[in-house]
Structure 1
Amino acid sequence: MRALALLALMGLALAIAPGEVLPDFQLLDPKGNLITPKTMPKPAVIVFWASWCPVCRAEFPSLHEVAEKTKVPFFVISREPRDTKEVVLAYMKAYPRFVPLLASSADTPARVAERFRILGQPWTLVVDKEGKVVALFAGRAGKEALLDALLLAGAEVE
């Protein structure tokens, strides 16, 4: 158990940190629109996940509730190279408020996860209006902590 906690702390130390600007990426939304850190609406939430991840499956309903309540865009990026466009889009049918980001001719979700220094899933980032990371959750993000982070990011939260 201690080894797992130590690995999680080491991963957090390596990952993109609060205060850092989002690394550049070029992914497509389901309609084929190019999404980059400059073009994405903010504040926003970015969730790195994988279709086989049991923690992701358990967490997505509460994340979707927060997305519905706040109307903040939630961009979801599968860091699993085997999650094809078809797998991702089928999975996301249950979560219509999420915007899945897919491979483009210039980038892949797995390479984006590497640029963000994401080591596992789910990892959730809250981004403010300037494109800086306000909070990072490795593992399951609690609803109240996520709402607090969104307030810090400038989102209107009831």
Structure 2
Amino acid sequence: MLRRWMGFLLLLGVVLAVQPGQRLPEFALLDPKGNLVTPATLRKPAVIVFWASWCTVCKAEFPGLHRVAEETRVPFYVISREPKDTKEVVLEYMRAFPRFIPLLASDRDKPHEVANRFKVLGQPWTFVVDAEGKVVALFAGRAGREALLDALLLAGVELP
């Protein structure tokens, strides 16, 4: 019964989240160098991944995502949806994934607030964005390599 309930909640979350064809919600976060990142300043196409430092699925998924980031040279922006993940925790965690661009709190936004604007209910949640800033694919849970590569093709990425 609990399993069915969890499946229903995940499905509901996917239905409520930012959908393919929609523009990214507004946000203003900082990259590790202190540069402000907004939907207008994202290098596009791009991948946005919501995660948490304690998430076991994220830990299992990140090496594969990182390989895709290395192979395609597409920017992967990672945003922790865990309010307790401090800047120090995020930057230490990301040392193992140098191709990822962690987005951190600014004086205008907090990462978990941005996750709420995307209507993200769990982690990892991955959004693939095209050059116009529209979502072309959403993965609630683990994003498989082939499905992610297909989504990048939809976003206009020329794969190697």
Q: Do both proteins adopt the same fold according to a TM-score greater than 0.5, normalized to the shorter chain?
A: yes
SS of equivalent to 1:136: strand
- The normalised TM-score by structure 2 is 0.98
SS of equivalent to 1:13: helix
SS of equivalent to 1:90: helix
More off after superposition, 5-14 vs 139-148: 5-14
- C-alpha distance after superposition, 1:49-77 (max 9, x if no partner): 00000000000000000000000000000
Q: Determine which of 98, 101, 118 is the counterpart of 1:99.
A: 101
Q: Aligned Cα RMSD in Å?
A: 0.5
Letter aligned with residue 66 of structure 2: H
Count, aligned residues:
158
Letter aligned with residue 37 of structure 1: P
> CA shift at 1:7, angstroms?
1.3
Specify the alignment match of 1:25 in structure 2. Answer: 27
Q: Determine which of 40, 44, 47 is the counterpart of 2:46.
A: 44
> CA shift at 1:6, angstroms?
1.3
CA distance in 1, matches of 2:65, 2:4: 28
Specify the alignment match of 2:132 in structure 1. Answer: 130
> CA shift at 1:25, angstroms?
0.4
> CA shift at 1:126, angstroms?
0.1
- Where structure 1 has 5 or more consecutive residues not aligned to the other structure, the ranges are none
- C-alpha distance after superposition, 1:11-32 (max 9, x if no partner): 1011110000000100000000
Q: Determine which of 77, 93, 106 is the counterpart of 1:75.
A: 77
Runs of 4+ in 1 over 3 A off after TM superposition: none
CA distance in 2, matches of 1:115, 1:26: 12
> CA shift at 1:134, angstroms?
0.2
Matched, 1:145 2:147: yes
SS of equivalent to 1:72: coil
CA distance in 2, matches of 1:7, 1:23: 22
Letter aligned with residue 119 of structure 2: R
Letter aligned with residue 114 of structure 2: V
Specify the alignment match of 1:10 in structure 2. Answer: 12
> CA shift at 1:132, angstroms?
0.2
CA distance in 1, matches of 2:110, 2:38: 12
